[in-house]
Amino acid sequence: MMRTSVSILALLVLAGCNYSFRAGSFPPPEVKTIAIEPFDNQTDQFEIGGALYDQMLKELPKALGLRTAGSDIANAVVKGTITGYDVGAPNYQSAAGGQSASVIQRQVTITVNVEIIDQVKNVILWQGNGVMAQGQFLEAGGTEQEGRTQAIDLLVKKIVDGAQSNW
């Protein structure tokens, strides 16, 4: 009886050594490399395309556990379009006593359509239409660039989260 228990325990321990956790199929087995193409830019903010591309190239591959490669040889490719760029004033002080309203805080909103395509199987792995991110800056001491940087950082995080939730 003792010998049987020891044998079963040994088998369980050995079986446990070969176990590895894999939630879903992240990333799909055929995807080892990824290319990030510059997004088409439909806004009048020309510099935003380069800033988004740089941040995606810096963050996306490592967040997804992939290596970068040229789009002609990569297993997957990220493509997209910047569809919106807006600077608004969500926080302001109302006009009182004949004075004009004063803006306290401004907000940069960037909207994109993005897709990650498996070039090995020729299927869309993840697609996000109207993915939007916002960054804020204070009117008194901040700059639009600060809000834009926050929005781009958040946008890349949303793309990573979206891709990981699908895989």
pLDDT, one tens digit per residue, over 57-101 is 999 999 999 999 999 999 999 999 999 999 998 877 776 666 777
- Give yes or no for residue 54 having a pLDDT over 60: yes
Write down the pLDDT at residue 104.
84
The residue type found at 140 is A
- 8 Å CB contact between 67 and 61: yes
For the 20-162 domain, the top CATH level (class) is: alpha beta
DSSP category for residue 140:
T
Return d(Cα 158, Cα 52) in angstroms, integer.
13
The residue type found at 54 is D
Residue the block writes with tokens 């002609």 = 72
pLDDT, tens digit, 9 for 90 and up, residues 121-155: 999 999 999 999 999 998 888 899 999 999 999 99
Strand-pair partners of 113: 81
pTM greater than 0.85: no
Nearest to 1 by CA among 12, 9, 11: 9
- Give yes or no for residue 27 having a pLDDT over 50: yes
Domain coordinates in residue numbering, the chain: 20-162
